[in-house]
Amino acid sequence: MALVALLLAGSGCKNPFEPTDLRARVYSNTRWSGTFDGRLTITEAYGNMVIDLRDDLPVCVVVCKLTSDGVLSLKVTGRDGMTTTEPYDTLCDCPRLAP
């Protein structure tokens, strides 16, 4: 791992193993699933979670409530948060890409 970081640092590339400033925060008191940045899929989770995202691309985050009860909230760094209490609802935070 240190060799990879050293090679990337010498090449001018970002180290993909370093945390970024861009994060998705999921707050929930129920079961949920989600896709983060097109590279991480969580098929089932419960409760709160913070996910590091790549900050060099437009980021799309989709989380789905897997129950009829409870609260599911999503907040991506620098964007408005969103919350749902609707049964089996989906929250989607995907910026529009410029044409």
Residue 54 located in a structural domain: yes
E-assigned strands of 30-88? 31-36, 40-46, 49-52, 61-65, 72-76, 82-84
Please check whether residue 71 is in contact with residue 28, taking contact to mean a CB–CB distance below 8 angstroms: yes
Residue 5 located in a structural domain: no
pLDDT tens digit string along 51-88? 998 877 678 999 999 999 999 999 999 899 999 999 99
pLDDT tens digit string along 3-37? 444 444 454 555 555 556 889 999 999 999 999 98
Domain that holds residue 27: 23-93
Residue 27 located in a structural domain: yes
Proportion of the chain in helix, strand, coil states, percent, rounded to 5: 10, 40, 50
Give which of 42, 17, 34 is closest to 84, Cα–Cα.
Answer: 34
Residue 50 located in a structural domain: yes
Domains: count for the chain: 1
Residue 4 located in a structural domain: no
Any bridge partners for residue 52, and if so which? 23
Q: Is 65 left (phi over 0), alpha (psi -120 to 50) or beta?
A: beta
Q: Locate tokens 């691309």: which residue?
A: 57
Q: Looking at the whole model, is its pTM more than 0.95?
A: no
Residue 85 located in a structural domain: yes
Residue 44 located in a structural domain: yes
Residue 76 located in a structural domain: yes
